[in-house]
A and B are shown apart, each in its own frame.
Chain A
Amino acid sequence: MTNKRKIETPLQRQNRHKAMECVAVLDKLKNDFDIKLDAMGYFYDLCEKVYIKKESIYSKSIKIGTLCLQVPSEIIYALDAVPIRLCNGFHTDDEIGSDFATSKACPLVKATIGEFNSGNFTDKPDIVVSPTTCDQKSKSGAIIESFGYEVYDMEFPRTKESEEAREYWRRSVRRFAKDISLVLNKKLKRGKLKEAIKKVGYAQYLYHQLNELRKEDNPPINGNDMFLLTNAFFFDNIDNWTKAVEKVLEEAKTKLDNNIKKNSVRVVYTGSPPIFPNLKIPMIIEQSDGIIVADETCSSNRMFNDMVSVDEWFLYDMVDSVADRYLKGCTCPIFTKNSDRIRRIIDLVKSHRAEGIVYQAFAGCQVYEMEQRSVLEAMEKEGIPILYLESDYSPSHLGQLTTRVEAFIESLKNRRRKKV
């Protein structure tokens, strides 16, 4: 009579599916690539711990969930809370979220909504901060609120050139600092904020150091590992993260003298952010003998690229300077003009000696889709080959996508031969 078949609850099913997605990607990361770093083990383990074993990272701290990279983590750290960026890459959650947004919506947004709807977090956020960046993200804040979460909307301008936009955003950040400190019942202190700015600055510094190594003939770290590493910054304890990256950096430096000549095609990845475990496109690129030497995405480069500079180390100047970092240098396609993004891509191609660009837009992400033409045109003018792909979180078009990427990489190799 105990032989009765157990029926899986939706929660168990979700966990099982997510674990499966996770394992599939982690296995590939561990086994499929020639470039290997032992120090990356920390990050593989971390993903396993968080997504499969469901072990919480923060037991005591107050967790502030963020829906976009524009929420200033410096201020959150200064208030003794921790930021957890909840941009989600699970197909399982995407399917749950589909019920709440149109099926044509961005999979990242849907997946994030899905996770909130299931309430199945490893580290459940106490407050959710939603910057009004793109349309879908702005609206998702309200949907998430309807599930019973406390959502704080943070107003974000859609232009960044004007002084008005800068002031508007600065006010937004000042108010955020004030409101959050009221909610947490903690006063924002000068010393604490300074320390937080330095801490995040050091994380950025390490990222840049690592990026510098990718300029070498034999990049000691592949793009997928890099995406995983930057992804971990979303949720990992910042001190542990920096320690782990220091180790990766150290090991990567020793791999530089390694004489194995690889002929992988150097690629810059741009567009919709690959967020673990959705490393679909980067994975295809690197399995097709390409190597991602740089990227222009909000899950990696954009999160670390621009650093805070402070003139007068007092709260008034620090908070404003922190605000500037999240607006002025941002290359997000939601802004009216995109010349900065184009310039960033060209700069990355040149400095990392890339041979081509892969531009992915999530099906449903209007801004990346709409910006596609202008980027393609600019790259054509520069003579840089570029492949534009549209895809989502589903594994269904894998064959077709692989064929296109392989053909693109092959054509870049041909181009290389012709040049020689």
Chain B
Amino acid sequence: MNKIKKLINYMDLRKVRFWIQIFFFILFVYGTYLFVDLGRNLPIFSCGYNRASGGNCYFLALQHQLARPWWRLFSYASVGVLTGFLTFLAWFVIFNKAWCGYACPIGTLQDWITSFRKMLKIPYSTYTVEQYRFLKKMKYVFLFIVIIFPLMLGLGLLDGEWRGAFCKMCPGRLITPLFSGDFSQWTIDFSNATAIFLTSFGIGFTVLFFIGSFVKKRFFCFYCPMSAMHYIFSDWALLKLKKDGDKCTKCGDCYNVCDMQIKDIADDVKSKNILRDDCIFCMKCVAACPEDDALHVDILNMKIFSSTKGGFSKRMEIIKDDK
């Protein structure tokens, strides 16, 4: 048991994560070819516009379901909406935000763009505290569009042109189909003013996605409404990111490697549950923490991956192995 524990705590997270991400990327982007279909309630941006997708983003279904007229939304006919939501929750509860850091194809793609930037030896950029505080709110604006806009549609407050508004704006719709050779999403819909706005926003956002994630690690995740949605339910998740503040020296190593610039991870020594709304649960912080057990990933209060001095030193190539 102790041997397995050590093996996990001393693992090269970078490599492990790289392969897990490739696995999920293939699964979600090319799932159909592999006869995999994990349904349409997944808590990741695995876009339904991609015909080869091995399972769809929940927001496509959710927006569709919430847009029905209110009298029908609140009738027995909407049991499907509820079961859809529960399925989403069931998926989410297992892995918490690790969906973002390990399974989301859009997230993985950003990490690959980051690797590309590294190959060119170009430094990354970061936001200032003020920019960060402002930008992190944006994901809630998008979540508002995902949930409230369809409801307003159902009430008749918005036109049908606003149907699936977020999908039209989302870079996922333009990017994921590319991998199965479908470029048809890269068009501006000129049928009406709203459509022109939404689809051109989508193209603009996608261009920004590529530029942004080249310059800034996990650029898009700051704006992702799925990330906001996750956070609402993250307290119920089985997988947890925890911190033992007494053991923390606030050295900031975790903060330094954090793609999402979450300062709390280093400075908050009071919270046990250290997961924040921006977190993508990549566990880089745990791997970068040199204090024994200061940061750890738990399933049902059982530590499955903990920060250790030895593991840290091994990953930093300071030692070959612990004696």
Instruction: Please give the residue numbers on chain A whose beta carbons come within 8 Å of chain B beta carbons, in ascending order.
Output: 161, 163, 166, 197-198, 201-202, 205, 208, 305-312, 314, 316-317, 320-321, 324-325, 328-329, 331, 340, 343-344, 346-347, 350
Residues of B within 8 A of A343 (CB): 245-246, 248, 269
Known pairs A163-B129, A307-B312, A329-B252; list 15 more (Cβ under 8 Å).
A161-B267, A163-B263, A198-B317, A202-B319, A205-B309, A208-B309, A308-B316, A309-B254, A310-B316, A311-B256, A316-B123, A328-B250, A329-B249, A331-B249, A347-B246
Residues of A within 8 A of B245 (CB): 343
B256 A309 Cβ-Cβ under 8 A = yes
CA distance A208 to B319 in the complex (A): 13
Closest chain B residue, CB of each to CB of A310 = B316
Q: Is B15 an interface residue (CB 8 A)?
A: no
Residues of B within 8 A of A316 (CB): 123
B318 A346 Cβ-Cβ under 8 A = no
A205 B249 Cβ-Cβ under 8 A = no
Assuming the contacts A205-B313, A328-B250, asked whether A309 and B319 have C-beta atoms less than 8 A apart, the reply is no
Total contacts A-B at CB 8 Å: 87
B256 A205 Cβ-Cβ under 8 A = no
> Which residue of the partner chain, among B246, B252, B263, B319, contacts A324 with CB atoms under 8 Å?
B252
Q: Is B266 an interface residue (CB 8 A)?
A: yes
Q: Is B299 an interface residue (CB 8 A)?
A: no
B251 A324 Cβ-Cβ under 8 A = yes
Residues of B within 8 A of A198 (CB): 316-318
CB distance from B220 to the nearest CB of A (A): 19
Assuming the contacts A163-B263, A309-B288, asked whether A344 and B249 have C-beta atoms less than 8 A apart, the reply is yes
B249 A306 Cβ-Cβ under 8 A = yes
> Which residue of the partner chain, among A205, A305, A324, A328, contacts B318 with CB atoms under 8 Å?
A205
Q: Is B118 an interface residue (CB 8 A)?
A: yes
Q: Is B79 an interface residue (CB 8 A)?
A: no
Residues of A within 8 A of B263 (CB): 163
A309 B312 Cβ-Cβ under 8 A = yes
CB distance from B319 to the nearest CB of A (A): 6
CA distance A350 to B257 in the complex (A): 29
CA distance A320 to B257 in the complex (A): 11
Q: Is B5 an interface residue (CB 8 A)?
A: no
Residues of A within 8 A of B250 (CB): 328-329, 340
Assuming the contacts A201-B313, A317-B123, A321-B256, asked whether A163 and B128 have C-beta atoms less than 8 A apart, the reply is yes
Residues of B within 8 A of A347 (CB): 246-247
Closest chain A residue, CB of each to CB of B121 = A314
CA distance A309 to B287 in the complex (A): 10
Please list 14 pairs of residues, one from A and one from B, whose beta carbons are closer than 8 Å in the complex, sorted by A's number.
Answer: A197-B316, A198-B317, A202-B318, A305-B249, A307-B312, A309-B256, A309-B289, A311-B284, A312-B118, A314-B123, A321-B253, A328-B266, A329-B251, A343-B269
CB distance from A220 to the nearest CB of B (A): 16
Nearest 5 interchain pairs by C-beta: A329-B251, A328-B252, A309-B253, A306-B251, A316-B123
CB distance from B261 to the nearest CB of A (A): 10
Assuming the contacts A163-B128, A163-B129, A205-B318, asked whether A309 and B249 have C-beta atoms less than 8 A apart, the reply is no
Residues of B within 8 A of A320 (CB): 256
Residues of B within 8 A of A163 (CB): 128-129, 263
Residues of B within 8 A of A344 (CB): 249
Closest chain B residue, CB of each to CB of A313 = B118
Q: Mark B35-76, 1 if CB is under 8 A from A, else 0.
A: 000000000000000000000000000000000000000000
Q: Mark B180-206, 1 if CB is under 8 A from A, else 0.
A: 000000000000000000000000000
CB distance from A137 to the nearest CB of B (A): 22
A307 B257 Cβ-Cβ under 8 A = no
Closest chain A residue, CB of each to CB of B322 = A209
Q: Is B124 an interface residue (CB 8 A)?
A: yes
Q: Is B290 an interface residue (CB 8 A)?
A: yes
Residues of B within 8 A of A328 (CB): 250-252, 255, 266
Residues of A within 8 A of B266 (CB): 328
A307 B290 Cβ-Cβ under 8 A = yes
Residues of B within 8 A of A325 (CB): 251, 253
CA distance A163 to B126 in the complex (A): 12
A201 B316 Cβ-Cβ under 8 A = yes
CB distance from A90 to the nearest CB of B (A): 31
Assuming the contacts A314-B123, A321-B256, A324-B253, asked whether A309 and B318 have C-beta atoms less than 8 A apart, the reply is no
CA distance A382 to B216 in the complex (A): 44
> Which residue of the partner chain, among A201, A305, A307, A346, contacts B246 with CB atoms under 8 Å?
A346
> Which of B121, B251, B269, B309 has the most chain A CB atoms closer than 10 A to its own CB?
B251
CB distance from A349 to the nearest CB of B (A): 11
Closest chain B residue, CB of each to CB of A325 = B251
Assuming the contacts A198-B316, A198-B317, A202-B318, asked whether A309 and B124 have C-beta atoms less than 8 A apart, the reply is no
Assuming the contacts A202-B319, A324-B252, asked whether A309 and B290 have C-beta atoms less than 8 A apart, the reply is yes
Q: Mark B107-130, 1 if CB is under 8 A from A, else 0.
A: 000000000001001011000110
CB distance from B91 to the nearest CB of A (A): 30
> Which residue of the partner chain, among A201, A311, A331, contacts B257 with CB atoms under 8 Å?
A311
Residues of B within 8 A of A312 (CB): 118, 124
Assuming the contacts A163-B263, A202-B318, A205-B309, asked whether A309 and B246 have C-beta atoms less than 8 A apart, the reply is no
CB distance from B311 to the nearest CB of A (A): 12
CB distance from B185 to the nearest CB of A (A): 33
Residues of B within 8 A of A329 (CB): 249-252
A307 B253 Cβ-Cβ under 8 A = yes
Closest chain A residue, CB of each to CB of B247 = A347
CA distance A310 to B288 in the complex (A): 8
Residues of B within 8 A of A308 (CB): 253, 316
CB distance from A195 to the nearest CB of B (A): 10
CB distance from B306 to the nearest CB of A (A): 16
Residues of B within 8 A of A201 (CB): 313, 316, 318
CB distance from A324 to the nearest CB of B (A): 5
CA distance A161 to B263 in the complex (A): 10
CA distance A205 to B308 in the complex (A): 12
Closest chain B residue, CB of each to CB of A160 = B250
Residues of A within 8 A of B257 (CB): 309-311
CB distance from A131 to the nearest CB of B (A): 18
Residues of A within 8 A of B129 (CB): 163
CB distance from A64 to the nearest CB of B (A): 23
CA distance A321 to B266 in the complex (A): 14
Residues of A within 8 A of B267 (CB): 161
CA distance A161 to B129 in the complex (A): 13
> Which of A161, A307, A321, A350 has the most chain B CB atoms closer than 10 A to its own CB?
A307
CB distance from B270 to the nearest CB of A (A): 11
Closest chain A residue, CB of each to CB of B287 = A309
Residues of A within 8 A of B252 (CB): 166, 324, 328-329
